[in-house]
Amino acid sequence: MSQTSETVLEIDLAALEHNYNYMRSKIGASTKMLGVVKAFAYGSDSVKIATRLEKLGVNYFAVAYTKEGITLRKGGITKPILVLHPQSSNFEEVIAYNLMPNIYSKYTLNTFITTAEKLHQKNYPIHLKINTGLNRLGFSIEEIDWIVNKLTTTQSTKVEGIFSHLGASEDTAEKDFTLLQIKNYQKALDKILPQLAYKPICHLCNTSGIINYPEAHYDMVRTGIGLYGYGNSAKEDKNLIPVGTLKTLISQIHHIKKGESVGYNRGFIASKNTKTATLPLGHADGINRIYGKQKTSVLINGKLAPIIGNVCMDMLMINVTNVDCNEGDEVILFGKEKSAEEFANNAGTISYELITSISQRVKRNIIN
């Protein structure tokens, strides 16, 4: 049995490499790959993950916010970095750190051009985002003529990329919607590309788009969750290896009698004599209260044990009546041996939310 001395999120870079190669195998040799490393690389470690991906030959990175891009630059990352959701107040820093902003509205294009001109930029690369149905960020197709016209008024910026984002690429029941998004994206490209003197990088697909819509890969794809080992389907999960494994250990075991309760607000009442174990992690570590009250389980010595009662800030309790275990034994919440997708699904959420929620209090342990 392996030993753990505290709560750790083990990050396996060999698993990352496997997933990178798998996602690569899904795209054409000339298709570029962008690695999405926002939110601490989906709750892991953005600089460590990006450094390995850069070595593996990834072409591009994306983060959500400007400061995440700055962290990568300070960590030595040299490949292009797209900032998916910069604020106009960040544009000077975007330029100072050689990041590429997502420009998604008239306001962001106007302000970016003003900033780029003020800083005497020439052909500073930007990515234009088109709204094809997600209705989150993006220009409408009707605004394209305005964009092209605006761009002719300045030498300060150049369109390095044109992209959009699929809203339901993992959902086979929403195939018609996705096909409509692809059609809208193509319509936008047909309108804008002939008006530019150069060819920008066109990119649309996220992980499930890569897998389910090979006809829509365009020049580049953006993969996030796939790199971290989850494929949004049982079939694809088999081809991928979870990068993060959240481990802890048993702090204390209690033998409680029928009728006794466990935890705050007596969230668990024993219907019979029960053996419980207390673990040193809680909602401040990212294991939220939604996982309490037997919604989901952890793994000890190969056996599942449900989380009981209310999850506390720094601790949670599990029912180990049927598990042969002792104080100090290792406990796995999710990872290679037990999928984060399953852990999350049991409580009504998804792997994305679970893995990005593991707080910075949890030590990251990088292996391989």
Ligand X SMILES: *Cc1c(COP(=O)(O)O)cnc(C)c1O
Catalytic residue flag (residue 67): no
Q: Is 220 annotated as a binding residue?
A: no
Q: Which stretch binds ligand X (CB under 6 A): 21-29, 149-157, 183-191, 220-228?
A: 220-228
Per the residue annotation, which of 118, 175, 264, 303 is the catalytic one? 264
Q: Is 207 in the site for ligand X (CB under 6 A)?
A: yes
Between 80 and 267, name the residue whose CB sits nearer to ligand X. 80
Q: Is 23 in the site for ligand X (CB under 6 A)?
A: no
- How far, in Å, CA of 36 to CA of 171, rounded? 20
Instruction: Count the site residues for ligand X by CB under 6 A.
Output: 10
- How far, in Å, CA of 120 to CA of 107, rounded? 20
String of DSSP letters for 304-332: EEEEES---SS-EEEE-TTS---TT-EEE
Q: Is 313 annotated as a binding residue?
A: yes
Q: Which 62-121 residues touch ligand X, going by CB under 6 A?
A: 84
Q: CA of 133: how far to CAs of 218, 221, 226, 270, 328, in Å? A: 18, 18, 23, 50, 51
Q: Is 240 in the site for ligand X (CB under 6 A)?
A: no
| Interaction mask 152-171, ligand X, x per CB under 6 A | -------------x------
Q: Is 222 in the site for ligand X (CB under 6 A)?
A: yes
- How far, in Å, CA of 62 to CA of 222, rounded? 8
134 in Cβ contact with 166 (< 8 Å): yes
Distance of CA 148 to the CA centre of its chain: 32
Between 200 and 224, name the residue whose CB sits nearer to ligand X. 224
String of DSSP letters for 118-180: HTT-SSEEEEEEB-SSS-SS-B-GGGHHHHHHHHTT-SSEEEEEEE---SSTT-GGGHHHHHH
Between 52 and 129, name the residue whose CB sits nearer to ligand X. 129
The least CB distance from residue 225 to ligand X, in Å, is 4
Per the residue annotation, which of 38, 48, 129, 338 is the catalytic one? 38
The least CB distance from residue 365 to ligand X, in Å, is 23
Q: Is 242 in the site for ligand X (CB under 6 A)?
A: no
CA angle 26, 32, 37 (to 5 degrees): 90
Between 149 and 172, name the residue whose CB sits nearer to ligand X. 172
Catalytic residue flag (residue 22): no
- Catalytic positions are 38, 264
